[in-house]
Amino acid sequence: MAKPFNPHEMAQAQFDHVAGILNLDQPTRDLLRWPLREYQFAIPVRMDDGSARVFRGFRVQHNDARGPSKGGIRFHPQETADTVRALAMWMSWKCAVVDIPLGGGKGGVVCDPHNLSMREQEQICRGWVRQIARDVGPFRDVPAPDVMTSGQHMVWMLDEFETIYGGRYPGFITGKPVNMGGSLGRAEATGFGVVYTVREALKELGMALAETTASVQGFGNVAQYAAKLYAQLGGTVVAVSCWDQADQISYAFRKQDGVNVDALLGITDRFGGIDKKKARDLGYEVLPGDAWLEQDVDILMPNAIEHQITADNVGRIGKGVRLIAEGANGPTTPEADAVIQQRGIFLVPDFLANAGGVTCSYFEQVQSNANFFWEKDDVLDKLDRKMTSAYQAVSCLAQQQKLYMRDAAYVIAVSRVAQACRDRRWV
Amino acid sequence: MTQPRQPIDKILEALQERAKELNCLYQVDEQINRPDAPPDDVFRGILEVIPTGYQYPGVCRARLVVDDLVYQGPGFQETAWVQRAEIVVQGIVLGRVEVYYTQAMPRSDEGPFLREERKLIEAIAERIGHHLAQRRLRGAIQGRQAVEGGAGAAPERDWWVIVDFLRHTDRQLLIRLARKMLNHLCLNGVDEAHQLLQRFAPQRESEVQGPQDDNRPVQKKTPEDLLALTDETFRIAARHLQVEDILSRMEGWIKGDKSSFLLEALERPATTLTDVAEAIQRFRFVGVNERDLTRSMQIALRAGLVRRFFSDEQGFVNTAKNYVEVSDFYDLTPRIICPASGHGKLGGKSAGLIVAAKIVQQAREYAELLADLRVPRTWYITSDGVLDFVQYNHLEDVYDRKYLELDQIRREYPHIVQVFKNSHFSPEIAKGLSQCLGDLAGGPIIVRSSSLLEDRMGAAFSGKYKSLFLANLGTPQERLAALQDAIAEVYASIFAPDPIEYRAERGLLDQHEEMGIMIQQVVGTRVGDYFLPAFSGVAFSRNEFRWSARIRRDDGLLRLVPGLGTRAVDRLGDDYPVLVAPGQPGLRVNVSPDEVLRYSPTMVDAINLCTRSFETAPLRQLLRSHGNEYPQITDIVSVVQDDAIREPLHLDFAGDDLVVTFDGLVSRTPFILQMRTLLKLLQDRLGVPVDLEFAHDGRHLYLLQCRAQSSAAETAPALIPADLPRERVLFTANRYVSNGRVPDLTHIVYVDPAAYGRLEDLAALKEVARIVGKLNKRLPRRRFILMGPGRWGSRGDIKLGVAVTYSEINNTAILVEVARKEGHYVPDVSFGTHFFQDLVEASIRYLPLYPDEPENVLNEGFLLESPNLLPQLLPEHADLAGTVRVIDVPRASGGLVLRVLMNGEEDRAAAVLVAP
């Protein structure tokens, strides 16, 4: 009997597949298939007009064997429990794959911020903390921003937490503005992270980065910094693509001898849209969006959105492409994945490649706990080391066990979590 | 009789003379109105002032003869070059005013004197005449009082004095007063008065009945009889009425009588507007305070003025007469430009603004809050100005153009514009325009249309006629030429294809369109090379674009932009205004930083003072170089830092990442409260929802326009017929409905909520979004309706709604969300908030459906059983035909189309299949 799509069941199925490769015993599977703890609570709030309204809040802590749970808080009109469980589980694996000492969690409040004033949202944030304060904290569970929440909400929650506990605990929450305990380097983190994995992968492929060429999809935060660092390290970015808001389609911008990232940034709007006319004036060829994929380059970096390399266009990938690094989440469909494997193109999965963001989040927590904040260079330096060692571990496993990189990443993540549970003699 | 055309210089010269004459007249008034000066002083003062009004003051001498007393300056000599006017008081010549030139001067209209100087001397004589009459009356009263034993000794005698005085000086007036007094006594049931009345006009019993007696003439009374009757009347009055009553009534009637000329002028259809304007000025100097008139007289005057100048639309007259006063026209009429024998009006737009300003002025309870509200200085050209223009340039052929095929009109319209721009204005109008520019010097101006057709048909017409901005710089000739050019262009827009099409569709093509013009100062200050207001916008007292269930229609809506309000009035392709509901300023459309950033304005409209043209400029650049000059900038922008948006304490214009949010304006100034109050006040007083245009220059808030809101076709409530045949109804709704009407839809795209909820995997759910996107590109633009589950554009949870981006739905005419009950609760719909402002700017309507409520209907049979075009249109997605259904309405229904009628006033909507 066919069942409707259930995100949690999909996540569990993914886990089951990996558990099979690892040959995990049943108790361990039972422990890891479901969250360790789920909280649901009521948040009564005084609305602006004086009336009272009750919102439902929740927090799911999937697993914290490796360290305090980490995960975002979202404001969403109807969050289904299954979605949240799936996301919490995914956070556990994400933190594990990049080897930071954190577990996975997710939470939020059922509400639509479009229906709430800022004052009411503040009340909800503080109310959330009040209800769950005993079960979160810098050593238990560290929230972060997510759908429809921002740094402002994080600061309100921190303030409430600190009021309750009578002290300053900046390590309680991440995603804070820089002047309120946020970390420097957050803007660069994800994009740079992608390039660190590219660099390491190229080493394995026996290619010198400075002699390679790349094509980048997207020109938002991740793509901009990825292109920047890659060029800095000597690589040549031949093409970038982006979405044109006015024309409502995407375009690719090519310069065979290498795009000038800074020059392009000068003509890019804040949503990552490049000014077509000015790009032409600067000597760039303006091509249809999909052209980024067809370039005769060594490296492809899909850094925009999901579902971009599909069965339809995978055949048009340039003949010389040796490496694909997924800066975006889910840019490659399973069908395309199969073709890529067949062609022997090396793939750094999204799971690993874009872990720079969550790593920087971890750094924010570390700096906050120490009440000592590093210079940006320090942050990026540590990021480099972390991403490099994470990559190497995954790659090593892939080679040893003859696994596809995507599977290897999951395997290493799950095994680390399972190991921690075992070390504690939970199972 | 038009004068031969004079070159601009001569016109300007002529105007300078006119100014002198007016000035002279004012100075004469000043002399006369000195309260305690003895008559000799006053007359000598007048003598000195008179020469200043004449062309050659150096050789000009005046002489006054009053009551046989002669007043003249030292060394006065009579010469042959003289202009004289008699001083007449109630029909009797009491003296004369004489003006001499001591030597021969160039010949003009009347010897060496101008035609205008004739008017001047006659006006002066009249003034002196009035003054003398007043003095006499006062003298008589005082004299009488002296006899009776001092002022205030016997007030009851004062009115007898008046009667006496009038018997000698103005018998007709006395008889009229007596008649009024008699009527008043009769109305109060005084029997004696009834009897007297019969003698005034013999009453036959049969007069009460048939019409056949009406034609018999009444017996005429001799003068002596009438005077005796008047004495009788007043004696009766003395017996039955209080002294104060008699006095105040007589005062009222005398003043009313004095003012009757104005009422007559207004009510006689033949009087031209110029004559009425002169009558108004006379009224002003007659010295009557309109508040002293009887109530009916006041209202009659006001209604007459409104009808004559503004509009004869009955509803408008009924409202406006309660607010507009005669005194408002003193300053208004000098600023109205009209053809010599004109009967035109100002038009609804102009009138609406004037009435709104009066309403605000008279609202004492909000005096403090709205003290700051202003209206920019405005000049008006009456609606027949365009007729005059066409006639003067023999352009009558252009009236035939409107009967041509639309394509031809479209092609030829640019030629019409050119012809108009190369034509000229008649001398009266040109003169008026020069005066106007003199008054509006020093800043840019805007030329707006105020058409009479707009008033009648409502502003579905709005935006079809042009508004033009002018820098108003350069020599007077250049400025005048630019102004005339602009007005000609606005006139030409009457013959543009869009308005013609509109009028043709409604059978209004045959009427001559009359269009008034408003020439208004542009509100703003100089910032760098640009002139622009700090911010401006449009305000609606009824909000038809609500983004949350918590916002009610009466919370209103503001569209705010920095710079000129054109960017708030028009729909912009690529930029957005900031939306705020004044009744609920805390609930903003855009909450997350990326939403705020995406939907904030980045461009400003302004007048470039260097190129003297209207321009759209990027705001960020302007601020970078001139941010410090921009007024109230800290209330307008916020700073973006690390994905957080903050109100700035201090702005670094060069370095900071700035975004327009108006957060400071909303939270730290009384602006929202002012707008809310203003909207409510005007809506209450005018009895209809209003739509205002406003601008703020950093110091004051200005009202630019006020008109009825529901006249816009887009936001007008649709009429839902009572008995709709069930089989023709596709769905009904009864919650969160906004006004609107979406006609003639030929396709339906229906994402079946039940099937969507049953889809098994993520890939399929995502595929639905892609399918919708492809259909969006294929189906005819704005001819299809998109219906689906829950929340279109849902980002968090794909099961809650199809995860489309705006570009995948931007061609739909209306977006519908179907909220089915799940267990006990009904899910929240999104109100389109994932791309709300895009929907607003594209005029895509939104409607939520709650089909599980008992009163509502959703014809799932039609939706699920009609042939599905999806496999045909997108064969690669045929596997999801069970979830996504595409229906060709005419094919499925036998030639019908779908019409969605939405009525926000009743909170009801219905989608019906109708004949096209």
Task: Please check whether residue A271 touches B, CB under 8 A.
Answer: yes
Task: Please check whether residue A319 touches B, CB under 8 A.
Answer: no
Assign B771 to helix, strand or coil: helix
Q: What is the mean pLDDT of residues B516-535?
A: 94
Between chain A and chain B, how many beta carbons pairs sit less than 8 Å apart?
101
B790-821: pLDDT as tens digits: 889 877 678 788 989 888 898 999 999 999 88
Predicted pLDDT at B183:
85
- Total length of chain B: 916
DSSP-derived secondary structure letter, B513: P
A50-81: pLDDT as tens digits: 999 999 999 999 999 999 999 999 998 877 78
Q: Which residues of B418-432 are buried (b: 16+ CB within 10 A; e: fewer)?
A: ebbeebebbbbbbbb
Regarding an ipTM greater than 0.95, the answer is no
| Inter-chain residue contact A178 with B642, CB threshold 8 Å | yes
Predicted pLDDT at A327:
94
| Inter-chain residue contact A148 with B591, CB threshold 8 Å | yes
Most confident of A386-395, B801-810, B825-834: A386-395
Predicted pLDDT at B159:
66
Report how far apart, in Å, the C-alpha atoms of B778 and of each of A288, B71, B772, B801, B893 are. 20, 93, 10, 22, 21
| Inter-chain residue contact A48 with B586, CB threshold 8 Å | yes
| Inter-chain residue contact A270 with B591, CB threshold 8 Å | no
pLDDT for residue B205 is more than 50? no
A3 carries an active-site annotation: no
| Inter-chain residue contact A2 with B591, CB threshold 8 Å | no
Which residue has better confidence, B234 or B683?
B683
Predicted pLDDT at A426:
96
Chain B residue numbers with beta carbons less than 8 Å from the beta carbon of A307 are 766
Q: What is the mean pLDDT of residues B61-67?
A: 87
| Inter-chain residue contact A5 with B761, CB threshold 8 Å | yes
Which residue has better confidence, B600 or B165?
B600
- How far apart are the CA of A150 and the nearest CA of chain B, in angstroms? 7
pLDDT for residue A348 is more than 70? yes
pLDDT for residue B507 is more than 80? no
Predicted pLDDT at B459:
44
Task: Please check whether residue A176 touches B, CB under 8 A.
Answer: no
Q: How far apart, in Å, do the first and last CA atoms of chain B sit?
A: 54
Residue type, B617: A
Q: Give the C-alpha separation, B315 to A187, whole Å.
A: 62
What are the phi and psi torsion angles at A61 (to 5°)? -110, 105
Predicted pLDDT at A178:
92
What are the phi and psi torsion angles at A86 (to 5°)? -60, -45
Q: State what percent of residues in chain B have pLDDT above 90.
A: 33
B373-395: pLDDT as tens digits: 999 999 999 988 888 899 999 98
Q: What is the mean pLDDT of residues A315-338?
A: 92
Chain A residue numbers with beta carbons less than 8 Å from the beta carbon of B797 are 76, 78-80, 83
Contacts of B473 (CB under 8 A, 6+ apart): B479, B609, B612
Q: How many C-beta atoms surround the C-beta of residue B170 within 10 A?
A: 18
Predicted pLDDT at B140:
67
Assign B72 to helix, strand or coil: strand
| Inter-chain residue contact B644 with A78, CB threshold 8 Å | no
CB B383 within 8 A of CB B446: no
Catalytic residue, chosen from A3, A70, A94, A106, is A106
Q: State what percent of residues in chain A have pLDDT above 70.
A: 100
Predicted pLDDT at B208:
45
Nearest to A382 by CA among A72, A70, A99: A99
Chain B residue numbers with beta carbons less than 8 Å from the beta carbon of A151 are 642-644
Task: Please check whether residue A376 touches B, CB under 8 A.
Answer: no
| B24-33, B282-291, B877-886: segment of lowest average pLDDT | B282-291
pLDDT for residue B152 is more than 60? no
Q: Is B529 exposed, middle or buried (0-12, 13-18, 19+ CB in 10 A)?
A: middle
Closest CB from B657, B796, B830 relative to A79: B796
| A179-193, A217-231, B5-19: segment of lowest average pLDDT | B5-19
pLDDT for residue B1 is more than 50? no
Q: Give the C-alpha separation, B139 to B135, whole Å.
A: 6
Confidence of residue B218 (pLDDT cuts 50, 70, 90): low
Chain B residue numbers with beta carbons less than 8 Å from the beta carbon of A246 are 573-574
Q: Give the C-alpha separation, A307 to B175, whole Å.
A: 97
pLDDT for residue A48 is more than 70? yes
Q: What is the mean pLDDT of residues B465-482?
A: 89
Predicted pLDDT at B710:
55
B641-667: pLDDT as tens digits: 877 888 888 888 988 889 999 999 999
| Inter-chain residue contact A119 with B757, CB threshold 8 Å | no
Helices (H), B287-379: 295-305, 314-320, 328-332, 348-362
pLDDT for residue B344 is more than 80? yes
CB interface of A with B, residues 29-58, below 8 Å = 48
Predicted pLDDT at A191:
96
Q: Is B224 exposed, middle or buried (0-12, 13-18, 19+ CB in 10 A)?
A: exposed
What are the phi and psi torsion angles at A218 (to 5°)? 100, 160
Q: Give the C-alpha separation, A204 to B258, whole Å.
A: 107
Predicted pLDDT at B148:
55
Chain B residue numbers with beta carbons less than 8 Å from the beta carbon of A182 are 642
Task: Please check whether residue A396 touches B, CB under 8 A.
Answer: no
Q: What is the mean pLDDT of residues B586-591?
A: 91
Q: What is the mean pLDDT of residues B287-295?
A: 77
Which residue has better confidence, B207 or B737?
B737
Q: Which of B587, B638, B736, B877 to mutate to test the interface with A (most CBs of A within 10 A)?
A: B587
- How far apart are the CA of A220 and the nearest CA of chain B, in angstroms? 13
A150-198: pLDDT as tens digits: 999 999 999 999 999 999 999 999 999 999 999 999 999 999 999 999 9
Q: Identify the closest residue of chain A to B795 by CA–CA distance.
A: A147
pLDDT for residue A1 is more than 60? no
Rounded to the nearest 10 degrees, how much is the dihedral formed by the CA atoms of B635, B639, B640, B641?
-150
Predicted pLDDT at B223:
56
| Inter-chain residue contact B828 with A112, CB threshold 8 Å | yes
Q: Pairing relation of β-strands A346-348 and A323-325?
A: parallel
Sign for the pseudo-dihedral over CA of A48, A52, A53, A55: positive
Closest CB from A112, A121, A150 relative to B643: A150
Chain B residue numbers with beta carbons less than 8 Å from the beta carbon of A117 are 584, 586-588
What are the phi and psi torsion angles at B114 (to 5°)? -80, 155
Q: What is the mean pLDDT of chain A?
A: 93
Task: Please check whether residue A270 touches B, CB under 8 A.
Answer: yes
Which residues of B have a CB under 8 Å from any CB of A? 547-550, 573-574, 584, 586-589, 591-593, 597-598, 641-644, 657, 757-766, 791, 795-797, 799-800, 807, 810, 827-828, 830-831, 833, 836
Q: Give the C-alpha separation, B60 to B54, whole Å.
A: 7
pLDDT for residue A294 is more than 50? yes
Predicted pLDDT at B455:
61
In this structure, what token pair is assigned to residue B138? 């006062």
Predicted pLDDT at A188:
94
Q: Give the C-alpha separation, B778 to B776, whole Å.
A: 6
pLDDT for residue B210 is more than 50? no
- How far apart are the CA of A356 and the nearest CA of chain B, in angstroms? 17
Predicted pLDDT at B650:
85
Assign B679 to helix, strand or coil: helix
CB B416 within 8 A of CB B495: yes
Q: Which of B552, B580, B643 to mutate to test the interface with A (most CBs of A within 10 A)?
A: B643
pLDDT for residue B535 is more than 90? yes
Q: What is the mean pLDDT of residues A409-414?
A: 96
Confidence of residue B762 (pLDDT cuts 50, 70, 90): confident
In this structure, what token pair is assigned to residue B899? 């019409």
Q: How many C-beta atoms surround the C-beta of residue B641 within 10 A?
A: 15
Which residue has better confidence, B251 or A383?
A383
Task: Please check whether residue A342 touches B, CB under 8 A.
Answer: no
Assign B587 to helix, strand or coil: coil
Most confident of B199-208, B446-455, B749-758: B749-758
